[in-house]
Structure 1
Amino acid sequence: MMLLMSRINFGKLILFQLILAFQIGIAIPARAQQFHFTENKIKDAIRFTMVKNLVIIPVYLNGQGPFNFILDTGVGPLIITDPALIDSLGLKVSRSIKISGLGKGEEIDAFVSNEISANVGKAAIEHIPAAILKKDIFGLSNYLGTKIYGLLGYYFFKSFLVQIRYSQKRLLFSYPAAVRKIKGERVSIEIVGYKPYVNIDMETADHKNITIKMLVDNGASHAISLERLNERPFPVPSTSIPASLGVGMSGPIDGSIGRIPSLTIGGVVLKNILASYPHYDDVAAKVILKDRNGNLGADVLSRFNITFDYEDNSVYLKKNSLFNRPFEHDMSGIEVYLQEGKKKHYFISRIEPGSPAEKAGIQVDDELISINLMPVMSYKLDEISNLFKAADGKQMILTIVRNNELMIKVFKLKQRI
C-alpha cells in the first residue's frame, strides 16, 4: 500500500474516468432513472465539505450512513470505492465485471449491483446502478484526510437543477420548475455518455487561439488537463516540469505541468492557468470520445458558484469570492498522506526530483511531525497542501521522524512553473 501511495500525486489531478455504464454492462432499469424528493418537497439544500477543490457530501445507502461521497460530474453509475460496504450494508451483487480506465496497468475487478437505494438530503433514489470496486485502488481517504466511500454523479445531476455554491460550501438542488431565474451566465453543454462537455476558447503557450471540447469534471482537482489536439498529443509548452499527475482507474498517470496564458468559458476569461499534459498512452489513447480535447477540473469550476441544468443542456457561471485566487502548483515537491489508526499520522508519499524538499534531504516514508514549529496534527490535510503553495521563497522548517530518529529539515519554497 505504501508503494502505491508513494506514486500517486493526488493533490494535482484525480481522474475518475470509468467506461460508461452501458459499456461496463450495468443494466439500467427504468425505475432507476431519477432521484425524487420525499415529504412533498420541491427543493433542498445541504452543506458540503471541500477538500482539494472536491465536493464531499453525506450520502445514505440502504438507510444507513451517512457516508462521505465525492459529488462528481465525471462518473455515470454510483461508484463505491470501499468494498467493506458490501458486508456492512448486506448488499447483493449480481455479478463481477472488468473495468478499464485511464492510467498504466490492467483492467480492475468490480461488482455490479442494482439493489442499492441512496438518499441525499430529502432526495432519494431506489435501485441506482452501482459499481463496487473489489479493491480500494485510489486510497482517497488517505489523500483527502477524511473517510471517503465513493463517488456520486450522473443520476443526481440529471434529476435536479443542481447549484454548487463553492464559496459558501452549500449544495442546492431542486426540480427545475421550482426556480424562476438562475443567476449567472448561461453556457451551453452537451451530455454525452452520461457526462457534460463544453466548448471553451483557449490561448495556447505559443499564443494561438483555439476552441477545444472539454469534459466538465468537478471530480478532478486540477484546473485543466490537455490530452489531445488533432488526434495527436497536445503540445507541451517549452516551460514545463515533469510530474506524476495522479491515478486513474488503471493506474498511475505521468506527464508534465505547464501554464497557458488564458482560457475563456462563456464570457469569462481566466489567465495564467496551470495545465496538466498527461502522457498520450496513459489517457488520450484510452478515451473513447475522440473529439474530446481534455478535461476542465475543479480548480477552475470552484471559482464560480455553478448551476448544472442537464435538462436544458446548460450550466450557469457566477464568479464567487474564490475567483481571483492564483493558480499555484506545489512549491515544495512534497506529497503528504494521512494514515489513521489509534492516532493520526502524516507521512511523505512522494518527493519530486529536483524539488526543494529533495534537495533538503526529505525522503519518501518520512513521518511529518511539525511544520514551522507547529504540530502537524493542528492542521488539516488540505491546509498542509496550501502551506506548501504559500509563497515563492517562504522558509519551511519541518520536523520529521525517520527510522525512529528525529530530524529537522529547512528549505525555501520555490515556484517551479
Structure 2
Amino acid sequence: MKSPSTRYKLGLFTVLFAVTSVISCVQNCFSQQFEFPGRRTRDKLGFEMIKNLVIIPLYINNTGPYNFILDTGVSPMIITDPTIISGLEIKSLRPTKISGLGKGPDIDALLTNEIKASIGKSSISNLPAAILKEDILGLSNYVGIKIHGLIGFYFFNSFVVHINYSSKNIRFHLHSNKSKIKGEKVPFQMIQNKPYINVSTYLSEKDAVVAKVLVDNGAGHAISLETYHDKPFPLPEKTAEANLGNGLSGPISGKIGRIYSLQIGSFKLKNVISSFPVYDDAGAKAILLNRNGNLGAELLSKFNVVFDYKNQEMYIRKNTSFNVPFEHDMSGMEIYTDDANKRRYFVLRIEPGSPAEESEMKLNDEILALNFSTTQQMNLNEITKILKSGDGRTLFLTINRGGKMMYKFMKLKRRI
C-alpha cells in the first residue's frame, strides 16, 4: 500500500484544467456522435452517486463494464486507469504531456481515437481519448469504488441528457425526439466543448459579484471562485485554510468559506460553502480561460438538471435536497480507501487545530468503527456524512494503528 502522503485524490477538483493542453490535439481526431441502433430514440440508465458524482457503467471496445464519471467538465474521454488498456486492443497510441492545476510536473499521457464506447443502448466509434500512463488522480480512493475514467462532451453533445439526482438515473434522447422539458431554462455558452453560465455571488447581503463559471458536475465542491478582474476572487469575512484537492499537476491549496448566497437563474441558495484556491495555483490559469470559477456537483445535485448542448441550454428544477444546508467536514481529517473492494478506510490528512488533531488521530490510522458501527458496512458517502453530521456531536472511533486497536473520542466542530 502506498503511503497516503504519496497518493493523489480528486478532492474538490476534477481534471477540468488538466485536459486544456490536449484538447486541441485530441479534437483533430476523427469523431462521431453516440448513436442508437435502428429506430430507437431514447434510453434510461441508473447511476451510482457518491459524493454527488454521477458514476455510470461504460463499455470500451466490447469489454467492461467500466465505471466512468459522467462529467460536463471534460471534453475528450479520459481513461485514468491504464491497467485496462492491454485488453482493449488499441494499436495507435501517441505520447503527450498534460499540464494542470497544481504545483507538480506535467503528466505523461497517451492519445488515441481507436475507442468504441457504449453507454446503455447507445454507442460511438473513433472516440477521442486521453489515457494517463499512471493513475495519478486516485479517483477510486476518493469515491470508494473502482473508477476507470471520465466521459463528458461527446455523450452530452449527442443527446438531450436528463440527470435526475433524486432517483439516481439519467434519461437521454435524440434532439429530434421532441418532448416538453420540465424546469427553468438557463442558457449557457459553449467554450472548448464545455458549458459556461453567469451566476450572481453575494459575499454579503448586498455585495453582489457576477461570476462566469464552468458548469462542472464532475467536481465535488459546490463552487470554486478563482479570479476576479485578473486578481484573486474577494474572500468572505470568515475563511479557513484547506487542502482543496489535487489537479493532475499536484496539490491545490487555498481557503474555504461561506458566501452569503448564490443565485442561478431565479433560484437563490444561502450560506454556500465556497472554495478559494491559491491564485497562483488556479486563478492565473483561470484567466487564460476567461472565467471566474467552477460550479460543481454539490450545488448542481440540489436540482434535477437537463443538458441540451445543441441549443446551449440547461434546465434546472429543485429537488428534495434543495433546502438541505451546505456543510463542510467537521472532523478536520480526510479519509481514503486504499482497496475499494475491502472497504478499508485510512486517514490521509489531518488539519492543524482540528478535532482530529485534538483527538490525537494520526496519518495512516485505519478507522474500524464509528459509534460502534463497523465501517466495513459503510461506503465513503456514509462516512463523509457522519464526519459532518453536527457541530458539537461526539463520535466514538475504533481505530487500528500499526496493528494495535485503539479508541478515540472526537467532538465535531463547524469551522466555517
Fold shared, TM-score > 0.5 on shorter chain: yes
Q: Distance in 2 between matches of 1:257 and 1:6?
A: 22
| Number of the residue aligned with 2:319 | 320
- The alignment status of 1:348 with 2:347, answered yes or no, reads yes
Q: How does 1:33-182 map to 2 (within 5 A)?
A: 33-182=32-181
| Number of the residue aligned with 2:414 | 415
| Number of the residue aligned with 2:299 | 300
Deviation for aligned residue 1:114: 0.6
Deviation for aligned residue 1:91: 2.1
- The alignment status of 1:26 with 2:50, answered yes or no, reads no
Summarize deviations over 1:147-196 as a string: whole Å, max 9, x none: 00000000001111011000100011001221321110000100000110
Q: How does 1:161-310 map to 2 (within 5 A)?
A: 161-205=160-204, 207-287=206-286, 289-310=288-309
Q: Distance in 2 between matches of 1:106 and 1:342?
A: 31
Deviation for aligned residue 1:38: 1.5
SS at match of 1:368: strand
Q: Distance in 2 between matches of 1:330 and 1:12?
A: 13
Distance 1:21 1:104, change over 3 A: closer
SS at match of 1:119: strand
Alpha carbons 1:72, 1:217 under 8 Å: kept: yes
Distance 1:4 1:81, change over 3 A: farther
Q: Relative to structure 2, which stretch is displaced further, 221-230 or 203-212? A: 203-212
SS at match of 1:142: helix
Q: Relative to structure 2, which stretch is displaced further, 214-223 or 231-240? A: 231-240
Summarize deviations over 1:192-237 as a string: whole Å, max 9, x none: 0011000111212484112110000000010000000010011222
Q: Distance in 1 between matches of 2:77 and 2:341?
A: 31
Alpha carbons 2:109, 2:132 under 8 Å: kept: yes
Alpha carbons 2:8, 2:137 under 8 Å: kept: no
Q: Match of 2:272, as an amino acid?
A: I
Alpha carbons 1:93, 1:111 under 8 Å: kept: no
TM-score, normalising length: structure 1: 0.96
Q: Distance in 1 between matches of 2:286 and 2:42?
A: 36
Q: Distance in 2 between matches of 1:355 and 1:88?
A: 45
Q: What is the RMSD of the two structures over their aligned residues, measured on CA atoms?
A: 1.7
Distance 1:250 1:281, change over 3 A: same
Alpha carbons 1:24, 1:97 under 8 Å: kept: no
| 5+ residue gaps, structure 2 | none
Deviation for aligned residue 1:344: 3.7
Q: Distance in 1 between matches of 2:101 and 2:283?
A: 8
Q: Distance in 2 between matches of 1:154 and 1:241?
A: 34
Alpha carbons 1:20, 1:194 under 8 Å: kept: no
Q: Match of 1:386, as an amino acid?
A: K
Q: Match of 1:388, as an amino acid?
A: L
Q: What number of residue pairs does the alignment pair up? A: 415
SS at match of 2:347: strand
Alpha carbons 2:140, 2:340 under 8 Å: kept: no
Q: Match of 1:283, as an amino acid?
A: A
Alpha carbons 2:15, 2:74 under 8 Å: kept: no
Alpha carbons 1:80, 1:131 under 8 Å: kept: yes
SS at match of 1:340: coil
Deviation for aligned residue 1:343: 4.0
Q: Distance in 1 between matches of 2:181 and 2:342?
A: 46
| Number of the residue aligned with 2:333 | 334
Q: Distance in 2 between matches of 1:400 and 1:296?
A: 36
Distance 1:360 1:6, change over 3 A: farther
Deviation for aligned residue 1:325: 1.0
Q: Match of 1:101, as an amino acid?
A: G
Summarize deviations over 1:291-340 as a string: whole Å, max 9, x none: 30000000110011100011111100011111111100000112111122
Summarize deviations over 1:259-294 as a string: whole Å, max 9, x none: 101111111111110000000111122236443000
Deviation for aligned residue 1:118: 0.2
Q: Distance in 2 between matches of 1:316 and 1:391?
A: 33
Alpha carbons 2:230, 2:284 under 8 Å: kept: no
TM-score, normalising length: structure 2: 0.96
| 5+ residue gaps, structure 1 | none
Distance 1:22 1:155, change over 3 A: same
